[in-house]
Amino acid sequence: MGNTLVRTDYQFDGQEKVYHGKVRDVYFLGNDLLVMVATDRISAFDVILPKGIPSKGQVLNQIAAKFLDATADIVPNWKLATPDPMVTVGRRCEPFPLEMIIRGYLTGSAWREYKNGCRELCGVKLPDGMRENERFSEPIITPTTKAEAGHDENISKEEILAQGLASPEDYEVMERYTRALFARGTEIAAKKGLILVDTKYEFGKYNGEVILMDEIHTPDSSRYFYADGFEERFEKGEPQKQLSKEFVRQWLIEHDFMGKEGQQVPEMTDEYCETVAQRYIELYEEITGEKFERNLDADLNARIEANVSKWIAENK
């Protein structure tokens, strides 16, 4: 199995602090810059799993960079450079404590809630009689809070405004950007024979402007179905062929783990981790139409530190 990056501890020139997230480690440089390292950690049900997935960070970072560039004409974003296959350097924003989730189809956690009788999700009314993987008449936005620890929670637009998590003006901008990004992502996916099923976006403010942050349209933040055979599988009530992290969640569910107290994460063998890596690589190649060049340096930490330090020195 290839080398994995599961922990970082850099000291970059001008570094003020570091934030270790579930998957990404963010290094803050002065007032204006941050360095975001996409590690090979993998999380599910808001739990960081005990082993990393080879090449996962590279896949996430490179897909996100491509889609940030491919949507920059419709939504301003934080990206400035990608000095390493696993790193993006960008503008330091004041983040909104929200994830803007948009769904084109009834699947995943939304389907699990619907199946249990839920007919309203984040303030959005859902009609009776829907089936798993059925397309909504138009995409619905179902935000969650952005928890620093523990589980993110569903929240409605009304609750967001009542709690002051965003102003009405800023929320309107985020909602408009979310729909525009999803439409562009859907269009790009369709050209590759894929369906962008659902995804999430994060926004922040930079110089008073709402801009897109973090990752976009990656397998960690998005779910894709193969378009070929979708209708046939849907009519037969069969599972869809998909590219996303959902297969990891399903594997955990089958092994009696959903992140609840007292539950144990099943053993992740090297073979299983490599299988997951291949699924991530498959999505990269399907959605970009390019062959993935796997970078398996023996010392990923040393390479990243050298590449980022060089970029910082050249852009002082």
End residue of a domain, out of 209, 228, 244: 244
Question: What is residue 297's predicted lDDT score, i.e. its pLDDT?
Answer: 80
- Do 298 and 281 have their domain in common? yes
Which helix (H) or strand (E) segment holds residue 19: the answer is strand 15-20
Tokens in use for 252? Answer: 């955990």
- Do 216 and 151 have their domain in common? yes
CA distance 197 to 87: 27
**Is residue 83 domain-resident?**
yes
Q: How far is CA 83 from CA 26, 76, 292, 313, 315, in A?
A: 15, 20, 17, 12, 11
**Is residue 255 domain-resident?**
no
DSSP one-letter code for 51: S
- Do 47 and 124 have their domain in common? no
Taking residues 10-32, report their average pLDDT: 93
- Do 194 and 111 have their domain in common? yes
- Do 118 and 62 have their domain in common? no
**Is residue 251 domain-resident?**
no
**β-strand partners of 213:** 202
**Is residue 104 domain-resident?**
yes
- Do 23 and 150 have their domain in common? no
Q: Which domain holds residue 83?
A: 15-92+269-314
**Is residue 172 domain-resident?**
yes
Question: What is residue 148's predicted lDDT score, i.e. its pLDDT?
Answer: 63
Taking residues 204-211, report their average pLDDT: 97
- Model confidence at 187, in pLDDT bands (50, 70, 90)? very high
- Do 76 and 205 have their domain in common? no
State the chain's mean pLDDT as an integer.
94
Query: Is pLDDT at 259 greater than 80 in this prediction?
Result: yes
- What's the pLDDT tens digit per position in 93-119? 999 999 999 999 999 889 999 999 999
CA distance 253 to 263: 11
- Do 107 and 155 have their domain in common? yes
Question: What is residue 81's predicted lDDT score, i.e. its pLDDT?
Answer: 98
Q: The domain that contains 205 carries what CATH number?
A: 3.30.470.20
Q: The domain that contains 68 carries what CATH number?
A: 3.30.200.20
Taking residues 22-26, report their average pLDDT: 94
Question: What is residue 10's predicted lDDT score, i.e. its pLDDT?
Answer: 97
**Is residue 23 domain-resident?**
yes
**Is residue 289 domain-resident?**
yes
Query: Is pLDDT at 1 greater than 50 in this prediction?
Result: no
In degrees and rounded to multiples of 5, residue 94 shows phi and psi of -95, 105
Question: What is residue 151's predicted lDDT score, i.e. its pLDDT?
Answer: 66
- What's the pLDDT tens digit per position in 269-306? 999 999 999 989 988 999 999 999 998 788 999 999 99
pTM: 0.90
- What's the pLDDT tens digit per position in 31-61? 799 999 999 999 998 899 999 999 999 999 9
Query: Is pLDDT at 122 greater than 50 in this prediction?
Result: yes
End residue of a domain, out of 185, 209, 244: 244
- Looking at the structure of the chain, the number of domains it has is 2
Tokens 């709402």 belong to residue: 210
- Pick 295 or 2 by higher pLDDT: 295
The rounded Cα 201 to chain-centroid distance in angstroms is 8
294 exposure class (CB count in 10 Å sphere: 0-12, 13-18, 19+): middle
- What's the pLDDT tens digit per position in 148-176? 655 679 999 999 999 999 999 999 999 99
**Is residue 3 domain-resident?**
no
Taking residues 213-232, report their average pLDDT: 93
- Do 218 and 282 have their domain in common? no
- Do 130 and 162 have their domain in common? yes
- Do 207 and 291 have their domain in common? no
- Do 103 and 162 have their domain in common? yes
